[in-house]
Amino acid sequence: MSTKKDMLSRLANVSKNAPLQEKNLAPPEANIPEKLAGTVSKTKVSRRPKNLQIPEDLWEAYEYLKSSNITSLLMTPYILEAFREKLAKDGAFERDK
């Protein structure tokens, strides 16, 4: 049985003869133009994906609406629409600007 180092060296030898190869001559930071180098900043992430557990009775109720053609929305847009309606009902959009 060969060691991990032997396997990696064999893979490196095989990839040397590959028809398509990537060669990174400069680090990614070197590709930024000088005038933009000082202005690069991280952007704020507005949404993060979450895997929420949906209770079975809610899922069955949603499936009933889908099968009855009462809604054509997928689950995520349906939840977002309900959330927007609840915020509007609670007056979240009527605050002073």
How many Å apart are CA 29 and CA 37, to the nearest integer? 9
Count of all residues that appear for the chain in the document: 97
Tell me the percentage of the chain whose pLDDT exceeds 70: 69
67 near 75, Cβ under 8 Å? Answer: no
Residue 84: inside a domain: yes
Given a cut of 70, whether residue 21 has pLDDT beyond it is: yes
Q: What mean pLDDT is predicted for residues 12-29?
A: 71
| pLDDT attached to residue 39 | 59
Residue 81 lies in a domain: yes
Model-level pTM? 0.43
Number of domains in the chain: 1
Rounded Cα distance between 1 and 82, Å, is 59
88 in a structural domain:
yes
Which domain covers residue 67, as residue numbers?
55-97
Question: Over the stretch 26-57, which tens digit does the pLDDT of each residue have?
Answer: 665 656 666 555 555 666 656 666 777 888 89
| Identity at 50, one-letter amino acid code | K
Buried b or exposed e, range 65-74, using 16+ CB within 10 angstroms: eeeeeeeeee
Mean pLDDT, all residues of the chain? 78
Q: Is 91 a member of any domain? A: yes
